[in-house]
């Protein structure tokens, strides 16, 4: 696995990254006036903050692969506006609520002075490119490739059936009517003769097509091959199709969760407890690992444009992903490199223990 933490402003560093070069963006940008620190209070108004964030999202759009995923942390107060802004460039899949400590801090708060419900959560916007399974960023995606492959592999059978239909002098509309498909107000005809999304007729439909062609052609005998022969040929081609389709799996946006991990849009992970050197916005390893495992494959490239102390890099490296971190603050960038290198060395030492 390779990793790097680049010191610099993400809006200056990201333009140096290649188009469509990142599989997963997992990042925690400033929230806007949540932390009493300069990096979270550099904008005078929410509008200025959102203008800056939109420029960041534009670079995310460019570097994220067509089948990539974006996870963007946000504060509860700004999450709605951040989600709407993200939706202008990406297809938002989930607005995830991270329940941080199950109400412990809320029970300690002065409820009478809050004048609102205690904020005990953060939000994560989960998004993909529009058309990720079809045509994302102008590139053919998983669904498009499978449709294209289906048409290529099964074309001989489709051409045979359509050729016999034409030889019989029967229209597609006549066949649909004979099969009980209604053109208006009911079922649409199956793709038995068209290249797009072609299907093999069922045995019942095949027989009814034979009868319809014979009847409509005044007793002529068409569709010479028996259905069982066609079906066996179809099964051979289907196996070929499935083998080729599996080669296209890499085109599909990775997503893998099980009942053993959170698979709803409400997550409960404890926050990182205080320790010497803790970043003020550090996220727990369990949460970061959950996202990386769910939305990327081993060998994928993970980008954190606001790397902080390098927690995302540690999780990515431990899970066998390559990592690119960007951090504006020199001190934190150095510390991130130190932490990731230390974690990598500890993992290496563990591998040497029999």
42 vs 156: which has the higher pLDDT? 42
As to burial, measured by CB atoms within 10 angstroms (0-12 exposed, 13-18 middle, 19+ buried), residue 323 is buried
* Spatial separation of the C-alpha atoms in residues 69 and 325, rounded to whole Å: 16
Chain Cα centroid distance, residue 54 = 20
141 vs 24: which has the higher pLDDT? 24
| pLDDT tens column, 240-298 | 888 888 888 888 999 998 877 778 999 999 999 989 989 999 999 999 999 999 999 99
Listed in order, strand segments (DSSP E) in the chain are 3-7, 22-27, 64-74, 91-99, 121-128, 135-136, 139-140, 266-268, 301-304, 322-327
Concatenated DSSP letters of 109-150: S-HHHH-S----EEEEEEEE-TTTTSEETTEE-HHHHHHHHH
Q: Phi/psi at 106 (nearest 5 deg)?
A: -65, -35
The least confident of 26-40, 221-235, 284-298, 331-345 is 221-235
Handedness of CA 221, 223, 227, 229 (dihedral sign): positive
> In this predicted structure, what is the pLDDT of residue 174?
80
Q: Where are the domains positioned within the chain?
A: 3-139+252-352, 142-250
Contact 90, 129 (CB under 8 A): yes
Superfamily name and number for 3-139+252-352: Vaccinia Virus protein VP39 (3.40.50.150)
> In this predicted structure, what is the pLDDT of residue 219?
43
| pLDDT tens column, 128-172 | 999 998 899 988 888 888 878 877 888 888 888 888 788 878 888
Chain Cα centroid distance, residue 176 = 38
| pLDDT tens column, 81-130 | 999 999 999 999 999 999 986 555 555 666 667 777 877 889 999 999 99
Q: How much of the chain, in percent, has pLDDT values that exceed 90? A: 51
């Amino acid at each position: 696995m390779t990793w790097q933490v680049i010191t610099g402003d993400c809006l200056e560093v990201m333009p140096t990254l290649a188009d469509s070069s990142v599989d997963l963006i997992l990042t925690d940008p400033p929230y806007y006036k949540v932390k009493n620190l300069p990096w979270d209070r550099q904008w005078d108004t929410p509008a200025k903050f959102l203008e800056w964030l939109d420029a960041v999202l534009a670079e995310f759009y460019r570097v994220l692969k067509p089948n990539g995923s974006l996870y963007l942390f946000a504060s509860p107060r700004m999450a709605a506006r951040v989600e709407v802004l993200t939706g202008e460039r990406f297809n938002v899949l989930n607005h995830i609520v991270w329940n941080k400590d199950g109400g412990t801090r809320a029970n300690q708060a002065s409820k009478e002075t809050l004048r609102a419900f205690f904020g005990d959560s953060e939000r994560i916007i989960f998004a993909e490119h529009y058309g990720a399974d079809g045509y994302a960023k102008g590139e053919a995606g998983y669904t498009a490739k499978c449709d294209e492959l289906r048409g290529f592999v099964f074309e001989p059978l489709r051409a045979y059936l359509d050729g016999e239909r034409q030889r019989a002098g029967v229209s597609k509309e006549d066949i649909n009517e004979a099969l009980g498909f209604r053109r208006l107000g009911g079922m649409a005809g199956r793709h038995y003769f068209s290249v797009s999304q072609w299907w093999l007729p069922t045995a019942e439909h095949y027989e009814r097509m034979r009868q319809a062609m014979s009847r409509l052609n005044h007793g002529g005998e068409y569709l010479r091959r028996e259905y069982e022969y066609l079906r066996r040929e179809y099964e051979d081609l289907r196996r070929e199709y499935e083998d080729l389709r599996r080669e296209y799996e890499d085109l599909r946006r990775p997503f893998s969760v099980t009942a053993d991990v959170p698979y709803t849009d409400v997550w409960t992970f404890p926050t990182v407890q205080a320790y010497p050197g803790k970043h003020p916005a550090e996220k727990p390893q369990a949460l970061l690992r959950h996202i990386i495992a769910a939305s990327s494959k081993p060998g994928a490239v993970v980008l954190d444009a606001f790397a902080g102390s390098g927690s995302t890099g540690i999780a990515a490296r431990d899970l066998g992903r390559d990592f690119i971190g960007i951090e504006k603050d020199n001190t934190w960038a150095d510390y991130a490199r130190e932490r990731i290198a230390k974690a990598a060395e500890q993992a290496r030492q563990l591998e040497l223990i029999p």
